[in-house]
Amino acid sequence: MKQTTTHSGMHGDPAHLEGQRGPVRSSEGKSSSIMVVDDQPANLKLLEDMLQQLGYVVRSFPRGRLALAAATQCPPDLLLLDINMPEMDGFEVCREFKSRPEVHGVPVIFLSALNDIEDKVKAFHSGGLDYITKPFQLEEVQARVETHLQLQELRRALRRHADELEEMVRVRTRELADAHARLKILDLAKSDFLNLISHEFRTPLNGILGVGELLLDELDSGPAAGELGDMFEQSRRRILSILEDALLLTQIEVEAERFVSQPVLAQAVVSAAIAQASELAQSCGVELELAPFELPAGAPPDFDLILGGKDLMVKALRTLSEAVVRLSAPGQKVRVECSFDSRNIQILIRNSIVTIAPSALARFFEIFSIGEVDTLGGNLGLGPAVAYRILSLFGGSVTIENRTPAGIEIAVSLRRAESVTAAPALAS
Q: Which domains does the chain have, with CATH numbers?
A: 26-136 (3.40.50.2300), 259-427 (3.30.565.10)
Q: Looking at per-residue confidence, does 66 or 4 come out higher? A: 66
Contact 47, 58 (CB under 8 A): yes
Distance CA 336, CA 323 (A): 13
Instruction: Using pLDDT thresholds of 50, 70 and 90, give the confidence band for residue 79.
Output: very high
The chain-wide mean pLDDT, for the chain, equals: 81
pLDDT exceeds 90 at position 295: no
Please tell me the pTM assigned to this model.
Answer: 0.51
96-118 pLDDT tens trace: 999 998 888 899 999 887 677 88
Cα–Cα nearest to 380, from 245, 279, 256: 245
5-32 pLDDT tens trace: 444 334 555 555 544 555 666 555 568 8
pLDDT exceeds 60 at position 241: yes
pLDDT at res. 262: 86
The CA-atom distances, in angstroms, between 55 and each of 78, 92, 136 are: 14, 30, 19
pLDDT at res. 8: 37
412-427 pLDDT tens trace: 999 888 644 433 333 3
Q: Looking at per-residue confidence, does 413 or 252 come out higher? A: 413
Distance CA 212, CA 221 (A): 15
pLDDT at res. 291: 92
Arithmetic mean of pLDDT, 304-326: 91
373-396 pLDDT tens trace: 666 555 677 888 899 999 999 889
Q: Looking at per-residue confidence, does 404 or 195 come out higher? A: 404
